[in-house]
Structure 1
Amino acid sequence: MAPTPKIAIEDVWKAFGDKTVLAGVSLSVAPGRSLVIIGGSGTGKSVTLKCILGIERADRGSIRIDGTELERIDRRAFLRHFGMLFQGGALFDSLPVWHNVAFRLRHGRQPMSRRDARDLAIEKLRRVGLGPETADLYPAELSGGMQKRVGLARAIATDPEVIFFDEPTSGLDPIMAGVINELIRELVTEMGATAITITHDMTTVHSVADEVAMLHGGVIRWQGPVAGMEASGDPYLDQFIHGRAEGPIAAVR
């Protein structure tokens, strides 16, 4: 018997005014698995994540976490078991690196002491390849790759059950992007976390995905194991993964 999905979305619709972004999205990810959602810009990848988080309310459809409808889940309790790496880093410029990493631990319902929070932050920074000397620097003093690592350290600071990665290699050179992809794969495997990544970078897909879902036209065109993409038979997925100009996906001009 298959395990209950960690996250399951069924026939989810979402519109903003007269623009329908999600038109019946259905997908699921099992506990401990890494799902990557691919698709072009403006196809609804970020909106899908926001609906899962409850930041946006779906117009209709079902979103379940561990088999329980999202509306019935204590939002604070859910968020305590969740981590996220934001596309732009989203670090607090006015706070040192260690405080960025431990922000939720310092400002939660039961705040951790400054000393313990700093020690934990240094340990998480070490896990992503940054030394203790980084802890007292400010985000502006870091390179783009280092900022991504700090964002990763913050995402895993609470040892979450679920981690979302929003375009994790955006703005990075190919070498640093490869480093970040390897770190994501290692961290997700090590922690046994369930991961959802949204990206248009096929290198990230091959590096971090167990399964892939192709989002286009407000629906999931295909979902399956990463090894099955080449033989999917779906013309949208085939055009996207090979970067072809010709096909059912019209180029945005």
Structure 2
Amino acid sequence: MIELSGVHKAFGDNRVLRGVDLVIPKGQSMVVIGGSGTGKSVLLKSVLGLVRPDLGTITLDGVDVTKGDRDAFLARFGMLFQGGALFDSLRVWENVAFRLLRGHQKRPKTEARAIAVEKLRRVGLKPEVADLYPAELSGGMQKRVGLARAIAAEPEIIFFDEPTTGLDPIMSGVINELIREIVVEMGATAMTITHDMSSVRAIADRVAMLHQGVIQWTGPVSEMDATPDPYVQQFIHGRADGPIESVR
């Protein structure tokens, strides 16, 4: 469904992506792993068309992501942001229904609210949460609201940016389980960027490791532990010694 071929992106002298080749099959969950600063977020922004590659192509269903109707293109995506990115001045239901209240996917207010309440229910939050403000919620509840917003418009493709950042291990497990259930239920294509190995094992069909601007290894999650690739082995086991240099 999504294909990256020879994608390069530099910011000044900083060559972030150095020839990324990656295929994300329709209806599968791809998790991109790699250390901080390896270009995972730039890769995600490039797929969304928010960053334009210097070289190479990125296609969605065979169509260049930088061309065509931007609103129609972005309407196909849902996004769970790393920090939640909820609007403090909006009630929870207004956050969830944000895309349904304006622009390309606008719905009547009563319909948008009903959809928001249903999506909140799907992520385990009660209807009364809908009229609260984000500041009145715990970190785990805010993450659930972010997930409800990501699926509110029934997207074909969902991106998850470090979905368990800032959560305790138990809540991380809950969010991972919700993500997996929802992606399977919706039949969505998913792309996650993370360095949390519990998330990888919980939600991935396939895994790709980004290192020094290229995909170092990719394959089914079931083959990740057995791969002899030294970069993957060092990363997934958190070893200090190996080909990945740590900042000391």
Question: Does the alignment reach a TM-score above 0.5?
Answer: yes
The match for 1:163 among 158, 165, 176 is: 158
Q: Find the aligned partners of 1:134 and 1:217 in 2 and give their Cα distance.
A: 43
Is the alpha carbon distance of 1:137 and 1:14 closer, same or farther for their aligned partners in structure 2, counting shifts above 3 Å? same
Q: Once the 2 structures are TM-superposed, how far is the Cα of residue 73 of structure 1 from its aligned partner?
A: 3.2
1:12 aligned to 2:7?
Answer: yes
Which sections of structure 2, spanning at least 5 residues, go unmatched? none
Partner of 2:21: 26
1:238 aligned to 2:233?
Answer: yes
Partner of 2:125: 130
Counterpart amino acid of residue 190 in structure 1: E
Aligned pairs for 1:1-253 within 5 A: 6-109=1-104, 111-253=106-248
Q: Deviation string for 1:127-175 (max 9, x for gaps)?
A: 0000101000000000000000000000000000000000000000000
Is the alpha carbon distance of 1:237 and 1:110 closer, same or farther for their aligned partners in structure 2, counting shifts above 3 Å? closer
Displaced runs of 4 or more, over 3 A: none
Q: Find the aligned partners of 1:131 and 1:99 in 2 and give their Cα distance.
A: 15
Q: Once the 2 structures are TM-superposed, how far is the Cα of residue 33 of structure 1 from its aligned partner?
A: 0.1
Q: Once the 2 structures are TM-superposed, how far is the Cα of residue 107 of structure 1 from its aligned partner?
A: 1.0
Higher alpha-carbon deviation: 220-229 or 105-114: 105-114
Higher alpha-carbon deviation: 205-214 or 65-74: 65-74
Q: Deviation string for 1:30-69 (max 9, x for gaps)?
A: 1100000000000000000000011111001010101112
Counterpart amino acid of residue 30 in structure 2: L
Q: Deviation string for 1:94-151 (max 9, x for gaps)?
A: 0000000001110123521111111110000000000101000000000000000000
Q: Find the aligned partners of 2:105 and 2:16 in 1 and give their Cα distance.
A: 38
Q: Matched residues, percent identical?
A: 68
RMSD: 0.8
Counterpart amino acid of residue 162 in structure 1: I
Q: Once the 2 structures are TM-superposed, how far is the Cα of residue 194 of structure 1 from its aligned partner?
A: 0.1
Higher alpha-carbon deviation: 127-136 or 102-111: 102-111
Equivalent position SS for 1:172: coil
Q: Find the aligned partners of 1:138 and 1:71 in 2 and give their Cα distance.
A: 36
Equivalent position SS for 2:118: helix
Counterpart amino acid of residue 174 in structure 1: P
Q: Find the aligned partners of 2:173 and 2:163 in 1 and give their Cα distance.
A: 11
Contact 2:34 2:209 in 1 (8 A): yes
Which sections of structure 1, spanning at least 5 residues, go unmatched? 1-5
Q: Find the aligned partners of 1:144 and 1:132 in 2 and give their Cα distance.
A: 18
Partner of 1:3: none
Contact 2:72 2:104 in 1 (8 A): no
